[in-house]
Amino acid sequence: MNILFLDQSGHLGGAELSLADVAESHRDRCLVGLFADGPFRAHLEKRSIPNTVLVHNTIQIKRSSGWIHSLSQTYFLLPCILQVAKLARSYDLIYANTQKALVIGGLASRLACRPLVYHLRDILSAEHFSTANRFIAIKIANYCASLVLANSEATRSAFIAAGGQPNITQVVYNGFIPEQYQIDADSTNQLKHQLGLKDDQFIVGHFSRLSPWKGQHVLLKALAKCPEQIVTLLVGDALFGEQEYVQQLQQQVIDLGLENRVHFLGFRSDVPQLMAVCDLIAHTSIAPEPFGRVIVEGMLCDRPVIATRAGGATELIESGKTGWMCTPNDADQLAAKILYCYHHPCQTAAIAHEGKRQASQRFNLQFTNQVIDQHLDSVLQQSQKISPLRKAMPSNTLFNQSTF
């Protein structure tokens, strides 16, 4: 099976890491088409995954874009759609990994008469996307996609609530390689000292891009309610024009008197090693998370995890057994959970061990890729039963007013 993967981002985020995990098992017969250059392409190169940059000018559509702006960009998307359609004729199917990839890949799939698989890694709700973006994504998915793979039940439910067809959706959790999260104690201690951390400090790690909805400000409020021995590592940097939020966090640290207790580490590629340094991993998103990659990574590192009770995160942790859940945007509750872990190391370690055991079984990459391959085979077999005339979309199917 030859697959044309599509992704809109040059950045190396959770969606891109997960795509690379899927594409690597097909690297002898695939191509990853990118709509921007950047660290993600370098990551693909490092893993010997074929790739090409299809667009060198940024596609100027944001999650908050309204109708006028979104429609005005259609003219600029046409060359890319035609380019992808031409390229897709050399492949058996198109695999869109992001929303912009869905729009371009969906229309290109109709022109190229190739089936489209959309890997939905976002919660299509008003908290994350404008009305225009949700409407366009749902319509393209409903009329162009043979299959929508959702990375959680929460993601699937939001897709259906927004108007997506239930019969084309399947839930497949992200997969991981557990062995990559086994870090030896000597390396951990060495890194800890390199970071200037003390042996008597209790280290709370937060791993995500710096963004208001990721809730780093909530963690800082909680930290201010904890003893001085409890410190925080903020691993990640601002993306998508969110540098102002970084400045707000830095000012918040000063206002709360946390200058010696908060370490901004920026973007790092050694996440498992840094998680091993931590005594606790905190996930603090104030809006529903589609999946929560860092939650599983923390569990695989045998570290206790506190996550907010919303979205896909609720499917990853059984509170009190494999980790803890707390109310989004509740600094008092978060502080109480941190203090419990600080004062009860034995109970906390037991829960971390159980979390690791379950995560190693539930989110194993080998199993995930097997399930995805089964779905792709099914899509391809179904498409081969359809004649070219039936696969070609009538000119008025997507844009006829009666379909809206």
Q: Do 237 and 209 meet the contact criterion of CB atoms below 8 Å apart?
A: yes
Q: Can you state the angle between helices 14-24 and 365-384, rounded to 10 degrees? A: 70
- Tokens representing 288 are 């529903």
Give the structural domain span for 388: 3-175+364-403
> pLDDT tens-digit profile of 31-75?
999 998 989 999 999 999 999 999 765 555 555 444 444 444 555
CA separation for the pair 237, 201 (Å, rounded): 24
CA separation for the pair 310, 344 (Å, rounded): 26
Question: Is there a single domain that holds both residue 73 and residue 50?
Answer: yes
Residue 121 predicted with pLDDT over 60: yes
Q: Can you state the angle between helices 345-362 and 293-300, rounded to 10 degrees? A: 110
- Which residue, 242, 295, 306, 245, is CA-closest to 271? 295
> pLDDT tens-digit profile of 176-196?
999 999 999 999 999 999 999
- Show Cβ contacts of residue 4 under 8 Å, excluding neighbours closer than 6 positions: 30, 31, 33, 84, 87, 88, 90, 91, 93, 94, 95, 114
Question: Is there a single domain that holds both residue 9 and residue 154?
Answer: yes
Question: Is there a single domain that holds both residue 194 and residue 141?
Answer: no
Last residue of a domain, one of 330, 345, 362: 362
- Residue 364: helix, strand or coil by DSSP? strand
Mean pLDDT of the chain: 90
Least confident of 131-145, 337-351, 388-402: 388-402
Q: Tell me, what CATH number does 192's domain have? A: 3.40.50.2000
Question: Is there a single domain that holds both residue 226 and residue 354?
Answer: yes
Mean pLDDT of 276-304: 96
pLDDT value for 208: 94
- Residue 97: helix, strand or coil by DSSP? coil
CA separation for the pair 74, 60 (Å, rounded): 10
CA separation for the pair 37, 52 (Å, rounded): 9
Please report which confidence band the pLDDT of residue 126 belongs to, taking 50, 70 and 90 as the band edges: confident
pTM across the whole model = 0.88
Would you give the distance in Å from CA 369 to the centre of its chain?
17
pLDDT value for 130: 83
Least confident of 67-71, 169-173, 234-238, 395-399: 395-399
Q: Do 388 and 359 meet the contact criterion of CB atoms below 8 Å apart?
A: no
- HEC string of 205-273 equals EEECCCCHHHCHHHHHHHHCCCCCCEEEEEEECCCCCCHHHHHHHHHHHHHCCCCCCEEEEECCCCHHH
Pairing of strands 202-207, 280-282: parallel
Helices (H), 65-150: 67-72, 74-88, 99-112, 131-144
Question: Is there a single domain that holds both residue 394 and residue 327?
Answer: no
Q: Do 403 and 143 meet the contact criterion of CB atoms below 8 Å apart?
A: yes
Question: Is there a single domain that holds both residue 260 and residue 376?
Answer: no
> pLDDT tens-digit profile of 68-100?
444 445 556 788 899 999 999 999 999 999 998
CA separation for the pair 61, 247 (Å, rounded): 25
Question: Is there a single domain that holds both residue 267 and residue 298?
Answer: yes
Residue 348 predicted with pLDDT over 80: yes
Residue type, 301: C
> pLDDT tens-digit profile of 246-261?
999 999 999 999 999 9
> pLDDT tens-digit profile of 143-171?
999 999 999 999 999 999 999 999 999 99
Furthest-apart CA atoms within the chain: distance in Å: 70
Residue 394 predicted with pLDDT over 50: no
Give the total number of structural domains in the chain: 2
pLDDT value for 390: 45
Question: Is there a single domain that holds both residue 278 and residue 372?
Answer: no
pLDDT value for 68: 43
Question: Is there a single domain that holds both residue 243 and residue 162?
Answer: no
